[in-house]
Amino acid sequence: MTDTIETGRRLCRCDKGEVVDYRETPDHGWASGQWKREYSRIECPECDAKYLLSGKGFVLRSDWEARDREQRAVWEKEREFLKSPPVAAVFERLAKRMDEQPSVAAIHRLLSHHGLTHESLNTFRKKWSGGEDWARWHGDSYLLGRLREIGAISKEKHPEIVAEMDRLKALHDAAKRQLPLL
């Protein structure tokens, strides 16, 4: 059970309703001060339909929804890119390179050396089930970025992968932009 108290109140954007701040705490005394939750609510049907709260200001719901759609579209493109033949080929080569190592310890050493795993040898060994499996579980944008940093992916060897990575990064950054505060 919780107690909710009102901690503040101010006019909404159209001045016909209000934005109300609340603080929620457990209703048993012994836990007081342990946790609290603070939130604000637009208590005006008109403004609530049009705006969302962001910090002490408002953003347009339509702006927020547009950015949300844009972000989802970028994630979808990233997922497709990771499954595309050129990227799949890079992951396959990596898997093959791992499987060619003489021992699991050698694979662990190789990956650790390039910062591609931070697990202890023991943990790594317990989970190891082949290069293909490893690449399937770890084959994400982060791994691609690391492979580029260590030179396993380069503009010279993989121009289309690098170009697409840069294009996706720009889309990703654009989709993370701050919304205009009203």
Q: Which residue ranges make up the site for Zn ion (CB under 5 A)?
A: 12, 14, 16-17, 44, 46-47
Cβ nearer to Zn ion, comparing 48 with 63: 48
**82, 99, 102: which is closest to 153 by C-alpha?**
82
* Least separation in angstroms between CB 63 and Zn ion: 18
Cβ nearer to Zn ion, comparing 41 with 93: 41
Instruction: Report the residue count for the chain.
Output: 182
> CB within 8 A of 24, min separation 6: which ones?
2, 3, 4, 36, 37, 38, 39
CA angle 71, 115, 141 (to 5 degrees): 20
Cβ nearer to Zn ion, comparing 27 with 46: 46
* Least separation in angstroms between CB 56 and Zn ion: 16
> Quick one: DSSP state of residue 174?
H
* Least separation in angstroms between CB 61 and Zn ion: 13
Cβ nearer to Zn ion, comparing 22 with 128: 22
* Least separation in angstroms between CB 13 and Zn ion: 5
